Structure 1
Amino acid sequence: MAESIDLATYGERFREDPHSVYAELRALGPVHRVRLPPPEDIGDTYLVVGYEECRAALTDPRFAKSAATADFAFHEEELIGSHLLIADPPHHTRLRKLVTREFTARRVEALRPYIQRITDDLLDAMLTGGGTARTRRADLLEALAFPLPITVICELLGVPDIDRTAFRRMSNGVVASPTQEAERASFVELAGYLEELVDDKCRSAPGDDLLSALIRTTGDEDGDRLSPAELRAMAFVLLIAGHETTVNLIANAVHALFTHPDQLAALRADMSLLDGAIEEALRFEGPVECATYRFATEPTELGGIVIPAGAVVRIGLAAADRDPARFPEPDRFDIRRAPQGHVAFGHGLHYCLGAPLARIEAKVALGSLLERCPDLAPDGPPGEWLPGTLIRGMRRLPVRW
């Protein structure tokens, strides 16, 4: 067995520019036994960095999502409960069926006027604040990238009065804590918060929102309903996954355009390139660096490596989307590229449920931002990149206009 590669030896480079590290690993092979840096160091982990191997692993049922299959225990399942991101069929099938209809392309497209209205209101507030009449400044994350998706998903769920400041803090703690202790504390706080939210929703008059529908929906042919614990877990995955990915998609797309001014100029000159710009941003700097943990249920050969039963597997979505075997000149950001086949939203039965919603939110946000701020520019360097290998995003994105 090959010696494990300790990724902590790359230091801050692995956080700031993981793509260069993945390129070095990919040159050696598509699959590696590694140790992830803290706080994700849980022992040997098998990291998949090749495009074809990533797509294969994402659809291989021998790589299960439930930690129970490998006798692992994580804060998430212990404190939140089993949900879509950490469940396997048939449990996953049942849960996904309950919410799939709310995220079809047709239903999401019907939300476009609402998304546009929220975007316009946020830009109104941003453009009238933050500086002198000559030069104004803002943190784009706080002004637009965060409040837009959290407003939309809260409206869908029927919890418009959520404490967004507190929720953002807990959400960041769950997906990007600097230590395992801090991560657990965030899960404990968020679990209590969601339990109270669901209890309040169960006691209130049912509405026509998604959470009300889940409370009263019959789960399967045997007539069972979602338990309170299942409702809490569903609220968790819809709220966290329903906004974190889009927050960082919007911010990463703007940052990629800032750092590639020729592409920004091309988009400003021809806004019909907007769809391509969103897809290229997903490929080039997608909001999910690695898919959530998987666990080998039996010895499985992948990319010439035998992954033993019980092993932890991380599938590198960002690594796959910079594989030169699939995308020529992968480190070049090109909004005219045809990036079809990228895995920024995953692949297979765990393909991101909210992908249509994220795409529309990003398109409305980016299009409106560039239209209303024709001289938008970076106002110094962005904040530090988030720790860990789950979410790829920045702490802040200062802009001026």
Structure 2
Amino acid sequence: MNIIDELKWRDAINQTTDEEGLKKLTSEKQIALYCGVDPTGDSMHIGHLIPFMMMKRFELAGHHPFILIGGATGSIGDPSGRKTERQLQTMEQVQHNVDALTKQMQLLFGGDANVTMVNNFDWLSKISLLDFLRDYGKLVNINTMLAKDIVASRLANGISFTEFTYQILQSVDFWTLHHQHNIQLQIGGGDQWGNITAGIDLIHKIDGADEEVYGLTIPLMLKADGTKFGKTAGGAVWLDSEKTSPYEFYQFWLNQDDRDVVKYLKFFTFLTKEEIDDLHEKVKTQPEKREAQIKLAEEVTRFVHGEEDLTEAKKITESLFQGDIKALSVKEAEQAFNSVPSATIENELINIVDLLIAAEVDSSKRQAREDVNNGAIYINGERITDIETVIDPSSSFSGKFIVIRRGKKNYFLAKIK
């Protein structure tokens, strides 16, 4: 199956500048293509992952992806998708983010992958103001720029000249990469369509209308209920394991709606059509087994975090399902209970009722005694039914914390000073 046909089957194409031409080109030869990410932060979230999954598919099909980290454009700010000006970062912060994202990309694609990392600071920083205006600015029509959605949406609230020039800078990126590496395709999110087509226009003006370059964007990802994909009650789901643990990451995918899971299998895994069709059938006939969600969680967690972290995330999931808290290591327990309510207590023997008050599990001693007497309280996985029980904080998890459960699902963490 041609890579464009595969992307269409996966519903992964929003717009292309010339679909038939691109399909013909990718059928005839291996091409170089690129996708960029600006270092506005030191980690990508799962929304950013979508175009880079596409880049990985191109690589597996024999093509050569280039990953552009926007060390220069990231210091300016992309106006797309925003109503107000970005807060400019210091160049030190930009460089920190560049280093972090570069490392993240290397982990995603692996050391043996046919992928090249580039930074547009390497060429954009060398262009003088006069050269920028004479060599590129003269070729860009203001009326055309104003008509682009990326700029038009900002006119009501105003846009600085700095952000207005972003489109030209990204166009220079495409032209530079086309000349230096014969890159013929740029991929981006739907909001990048104006920037991508501006780059193609610049190449055609400099090198001629017959120059063979293309653009492709991915669809906006929405959940079945119409809300934006990738957000949780706790915020974004990050690729950085320090921001979103592998266990939390795994759980995010495991808890997807039946109405969305097949779409996500197409987008975020490298399973074949036959494998996905089989899982789709199981969603319809045996939804209670959640086999599609389990496979989705395994595949994406393995791709982003690796086999070891996937194994750990599955172990935590199984231990919590069985209520076997003691089977967890300190590190695993920290992942499992990272986002539950917590309070700090002294490192000394404490009565169970006093512990429930100190850990803010219950608001009164009466309620605490009632919960214990009713068998609703578990300490580090063990049910406590005697209100005279004394807890030793140093007895579990290296004396770092106590895991408290009230009822079936309400967890709390008492952190030891």
State the TM-score bracket (shorter-chain normalisation): under 0.3
- Structure in which a larger fraction of residues adopt strand: 2
What TM-score does the superposition give when structure 1 sets the normalisation length?
Answer: 0.27
Larger Rg: 2
Per chain length, whose mean CA-contact separation is higher, i.e. which structure has more relative contact order (CA < 8 Å, sep 6+)? 1
What TM-score does the superposition give when structure 2 sets the normalisation length?
Answer: 0.26
